[in-house]
Amino acid sequence: MFPFLSSLGRPVVPADEAFANTGFPATALPVADEVSASGHIELVPLASDHLNSLAHLQADCWQQPVDAAHLLEDLNDAGRAAGKNVVVALRGGEVVACGAWVTLDLARTGQFFMAPLFGHDAAALQSVVDHILSVAIAEGATSVRVSARQTEPIKTALLTALGFVPRFEWVFFSRANLLGLPQALPAGWVRESYEQVDWLLLAEDFAEMFAHVPNCTLPPADVLRQDWRDRDWEGSWVLRDPNGRYGALALLRDGWVEPVGVRPEWRGLGLAEVLYQRLAQSLDQRGRMPLRAMVASSNLPSMRLHQRLGFIEDAPRSQMMELGLRR
C-alpha cells in the first residue's frame, strides 16, 4: 500500500542493467566518517556501483530474494528525493549498511519514516541511524518510524536500545487462486488509465481515502504521478464515481496490491471486493498469480477484508517501531 516500502520475493538482476538511465552520480562524495571499535566506517551518498551489494545485503538481512531493479526504484523515488535521502555505510570500501528516509507528510503528522534500513554490522547500523536521526531532528520531526523483521535481530536490538517501541505489525497476505467471477461495477463508474488521470483531483481523493490509515503518507499530485508510473496499469483500476470524483482504486505492482482504497461515502458497498476480484482475474489471465498485499495489523477493516476474501499469511510479520522526539 505504501509507495516508500520495498516489495518482496523478486529475483536479483544485474546492477548495470538496473541503473540504466538513472540520475545517480558516477562517484559518491563522503558525507561522514566515523571510527568504531571494530574499524573505520564511512557514510556516503548512494551511487550506482553500490546496487548489487545493497541488493545482496538486503536479501541476506530479509532471508529472501530482493529485486535489485525495484530496490533501485524505491531508493530513487520521489519520496526519497530521487536518491538524495539515502546514505550507505562502507567499511574498507565494502557496503555494510544502508538507510533512507521519507518526509512527505512531515508537516501534517510530524512523522519521519526511516525506510529502508538494513545491515548486519551493528556499528555501521548505529552510524546510519545516528545520521538519519540527526536529519529528523533538524527537520522538526516529532517521531521516527522504522520497521524490523524477525530476521533482523541486530537491528531490532539496536532500535530497542535507542528507545524505539513497537506500534503495530506488518502482515503479509497472499491468495493463490481467483476470487470468483468479477461482479459488475455500479452504474456510472468509469475506469481511467494513467494518461487519463487528473492527478490534482486524485491526490485530493487519495487523502480522503487514506487519512486514517496507519503509517500511510498523503503525497502531493506530482509525487503520486511519479511513483505510480511503474504500476501495472493493465491490471490496475482507478475509478471515477458518478459524481466525477475518484471513488475507488486498486493498483498492482508485480503482483502486490499497492494501494487499494475507497472514498468514505462509498464504503460498505463491496467495491473493494469487486476490485480484488478484477486484480486477481488480471493476474490469473497473465499467469502471474498469486495476488499479494501488505496490511498494518492496526488497520482492522483491511485485516478483516483480506481474511474474509480468503487471503493467508505467507511470511513472518514485521514490527513497526517508533521513537518519540522532543521539539
Mean pLDDT by 10 residues, the chain (327 residues): 33 33 35 54 94 95 90 90 95 95 90 94 95 96 95 95 95 90 89 97 95 82 90 96 97 92 93 94 93 93 93 92 87
Backbone angles phi, psi at 195, to 5 degrees: -70, -25
**Chain center to CA of 140:** 23
Under CATH, to which class is 15-167+320-324 assigned? alpha beta
Name the one residue in this structure whose C-alpha cell is 490534482: 200
**pLDDT of 39:** 67
For 319, phi then psi, to 5°, come to -95, 130
Query: Where do the domains of the chain lie?
Result: 15-167+320-324, 177-289
What whole-number distance in Å separates Cα of residue 269 and Cα of residue 166?
34
- CA neighbor of 169 nearest in space, from 293, 6, 296: 296
Largest separation between any pair of C-alpha atoms in the chain = 67
Q: Which residues contact 24 (CB under 8 A, 6 or more apart)?
A: 46, 47, 48, 76, 83
Cα 142 → chain centroid? 21
| Structure confidence at residue 179 (pLDDT) | 83
Q: What is the 3-state secondary structure (H, E, C) of the chain?
A: CCCCCCCCCCCCCCHHHHCCCCCCCCCCCCCEEEEECCEEEEEEECCHHHHHHHHHHHHHHHCCCCCHHHHHHHHCCHHHHHHCCEEEEEECCEEEEEEEEECCCHHHHCEEEEEEEEECCHHHHHHHHHHHHHHHHHCCCCEEEEEEECCCHHHHHHHHHHCCEEEEEEEEEEECCCCCCCCCCCCCCEECCHHHCCHHHHHHHHHHHHCCCCCCCCCCHHHHHHHHHHCCCCCCEEEECCCCCEEEEEEEECCEEEEEEECHHHCCCCHHHHHHHHHHHHHHHCCCCCEEEEEECCCHHHHHHHHHCCCEECCCCEEEEEEECCC
CB–CB of 61/121 below 8 Å? no
pTM for this prediction = 0.80
Residue whose C-alpha is closest to residue 123's, from 39, 204, 202: 39
316 within 8 A of 27, measured Cβ to Cβ: no
Same fold, 15-167+320-324 and 177-289: yes
Q: Give the fold, CATH level 3, of 177-289.
A: Aminopeptidase (3.40.630)
Distance CA 303, CA 142 (A): 28
Task: Classify residue 182 as left (phi > 0), alpha (psi -120 to 50) or beta.
Answer: beta
